[in-house]
Structure 1
Amino acid sequence: MECIMEMNKKHCNCTYSPCSRKYRCCECLHYHRKNGELPACFFNKEYEKTYDRSIDNFIRMHAQR
């Protein structure tokens, strides 16, 4: 399957510029899963900008609601 990077750009909220997986959702998801994390698209703007992709941070974000 060919990566649809142009379409992914519309939905990607990752602000980590030097990332080689940016707009490559499959690679990003596998990378973060391997590290026990979640990708940026799981976080709101405020939490994404911390670059803390931990599951604990994801839970904190939802507990703040």
Structure 2
Amino acid sequence: MECKKEKNLTSCNCTYEPCSRKGMCCECLQYHLKSRQLPACCFPADAERTYDRSFEHFARLVQQKKV
């Protein structure tokens, strides 16, 4: 499968600047799932900026109807 990195970058909201996985969704997802996290694209902008990408944080946002 061909990576569409340039196209993916248009919707990538990751604010972590030294991230080497920006635009490479499969690598990003694999990286975060190993740590029981979700990638930035699963979070609204204000939550993403906290860098708390945990499942628990995502669940709290769902309960608060912010996701």
Q: Would the TM-score normalized by the shorter structure come out above 0.5?
A: yes
CA distance in structure 1 between the aligned counterparts of 2:30 and 2:53, rounded to whole angstroms: 13
Is 1:30 the counterpart of 2:30? The answer is yes
Q: Provide structure 2 residue ranges, at least 5 long, that are not aligned to the other structure.
A: none
**TM-score, normalised relative to structure 1:** 0.92
Indicate the RMSD between aligned Cα atoms, in angstroms. Answer: 0.9
SS across alignment from 1:33 = helix
Moved over 3 A (4+): none
Q: Matched residues in 2 for 1:51 and 1:3: separation? A: 25
Which residues of 2 match residues 35-50 of structure 1 at below 5 A?
Answer: 35-50=35-50
**TM-score normalized by the length of structure 2:** 0.89
Q: Tell me the matched-pair count.
A: 65
Counterpart for residue 56 of structure 2: 56
Unpaired runs of 5+ residues, structure 1, are: none
Following the alignment from structure 1 to structure 2, what is the Cα–Cα distance between the partners of residues 59 and 11? 22
Give 1:56 shift. 0.5
Q: Percent identity?
A: 57
